[in-house]
Amino acid sequence: MFRSGSFVAEHIAETTDEQIQPNGVDLTLEAVYEQRDSGRIGRDEKEIGDRQRIESEQVGENVPETYYLPKGAYIVQYAETVRIPGSHVGYIYPRSSLMRNSCMLNTAVWDAGYEGKGEGLLQVHHDIELERGARIAQLVFGEASHETTYDGDYQGENIEPVP
């Protein structure tokens, strides 16, 4: 069973009422990266290829920062810190506005116990402008049975350490 958007919102830091949907919560764009080098996934280890953050542009005083993205593949980082509760699994889906603009967002399962500011693969099939803070994905929770919770390499990803 999938949970309500208000339930999902209880497990996400800093959401607005506009982000809460009937069946999930919209996640917003924090940053865009371009992968510059190849990675490697072995049986016992993995290596993420080098990435470079793409600079956003701000053309006016009251204009949000905007990313101008030509055709290609990009890593997007979400702005919100997500905490997947122990009895659930998280799924990320693209907002339909991306699809309607010839873009697609690929994601992975977010296991129970995961905490962080996750990432997705944005495929751009026609040039697009994306404002920083734009709603690009929706997180939904499904109830799940499991033996353990997530304790992998990406636990706490993109969360600033407290000094």
For residue 75, what is the domain's CATH number? 2.70.40.10
Average pLDDT of the segment spanning 26-50: 93
Does pLDDT of 91 surpass 80? yes
Q: Which residues are within 8 A (CB) of 161 and not within 5 positions of it... i.e. 6 or more apart?
A: none
Query: Quick check: is 3 in a domain?
Result: no
Number of domains the chain contains: 1
Cα distance between the two ends of the chain: 40
pLDDT band at 149 (very low <50, low <70, confident <90, very high): confident
pTM exceeds 0.75, yes or no:
yes
Query: Quick check: is 43 in a domain?
Result: no
pLDDT at 123: 97
Range of the domain at 83: 26-36+65-134
Query: Quick check: is 155 in a domain?
Result: no
CA angle, 138 then 139 then 144, to 5°: 150
Query: Quick check: is 96 in a domain?
Result: yes
Alpha-carbon distances, residue 14 vs 11, 28, 75, 117 (angstroms): 10, 11, 22, 12
Query: Quick check: is 126 in a domain?
Result: yes
Query: Quick check: is 69 in a domain?
Result: yes
Q: What is the pLDDT of residues 49-89, one digit of tens each?
A: 999 999 988 767 777 899 999 999 999 999 999 999 989 99
